[in-house]
Structure 1
């Protein structure tokens, strides 16, 4: 009962992920990103070990398709897994194991892959993808939040979501954005409000790390 997406901003080179589900702490288990490298989503009967494994494969020079194939081939329980990969060029690949419960949904577009399981209908991932692609000049994090909102508006998952996460990496080893709503009613609107609070501060937090002499007071 999860829907999520990986996205890349061609203008800034940032990579990002957004995810929502009915179970707690989804931000610690599903999205994995590395600056300049790409990202991995691992969900359904989630195996968080697949995220670092996928990033290592991308670092070694694998394309998204090749990294995904290696993940599936080396995962004995892959029939329970739903996985998506994006490489450094924004190429995407995804896998649905045979035991992943319907309704499943997936969308691939330029610099984006969206997917979900145990959804209300098959329109959820395409709605997310279209929302992400609608305005490429917006900040990546904003595009990801809009995609989650569109997925929910298209029907979302069976039952209520209780958790949502937004993760973006830029040039540094630490995330540019890492925001989470856990075990709460209406987590997507709450994530929207949290992002809007954080957005004007994000660059300042980076500045504090790389140039504290001229960093703003936050």
Structure 2
């Protein structure tokens, strides 16, 4: 029902995640990231507790591989779950339980890991990884490029209806959290359009939180 990637920008230290599915509101259940720690996707018959659990392990000093090993040891019904993680050093690890749905597979490299289930073919995660590694620039641009590459490879076996992108940086909250919870169109392109609008304003929103006295104009009617 899902394909995704977790990733780190080696230049900035930002973490990001992008995900899409035939199910509604996939990012609400599956996307987790923590500044300075890592990013985790928990998917396929989803257990939303596994994302925060893996992040807690990495925050305590574990690598992505060690955190996923702990998730395998302690998670319930782990044979049904897919969990992807990237850590602060760019290490990646994936657990794909044998009861993952349909065609399921995974691919990973330094700074990026991708996995999916109910896929159109087993080449989708590698296409996602290649799309991320083959694109430069802001991590958000690279996440969009990676998801488009996975879609071009075939994506999910059925129609996609939801998508999300999550990015964390140096502050305690996500600097970007964009979601399309349901559409009959292409949710990945909906997220891409939202990102094109949001990206130029991202730093302004961070500045407004840190010190609104130094923030740029809000750009809304009535703003002096």
Q: TM-score band (shorter)?
A: over 0.9
Match of residue 93 from structure 1: 93
- Aligned CA RMSD, in angstroms, stands at 0.9
Map 1:41-60 onto structure 2 (within 5 A): 41-60=41-60
Match of residue 105 from structure 1: 105
Match of residue 181 from structure 1: 180
| Structure 1: distance between partners of 2:65 and 2:141 | 27
**Consecutive unaligned residues in structure 1, runs of 5 or more:** none
What is the DSSP-based 3-state SS (H/G/I as helix, E as strand, rest coil) of the residue aligned with 2:166?
strand
Moved over 3 A (4+): none
Map 1:130-149 onto structure 2 (within 5 A): 130-136=130-136, 138-149=137-148
**Consecutive unaligned residues in structure 2, runs of 5 or more:** 219-224
1:105 offset after TM fit, Å?
Answer: 2.2
Match of residue 82 from structure 1: 82
What is the DSSP-based 3-state SS (H/G/I as helix, E as strand, rest coil) of the residue aligned with 1:29?
helix
1:211 offset after TM fit, Å?
Answer: 2.1
8 Å CA contact retained: 2:135, 2:145 = no
8 Å CA contact retained: 2:42, 2:83 = yes
TM-score (norm 2): 0.95
Question: Which of 120-129 and 98-107 deviates more?
Answer: 98-107
TM-score (norm 1): 0.97
What is the DSSP-based 3-state SS (H/G/I as helix, E as strand, rest coil) of the residue aligned with 1:3?
strand
| Structure 2: distance between partners of 1:187 and 1:126 | 21
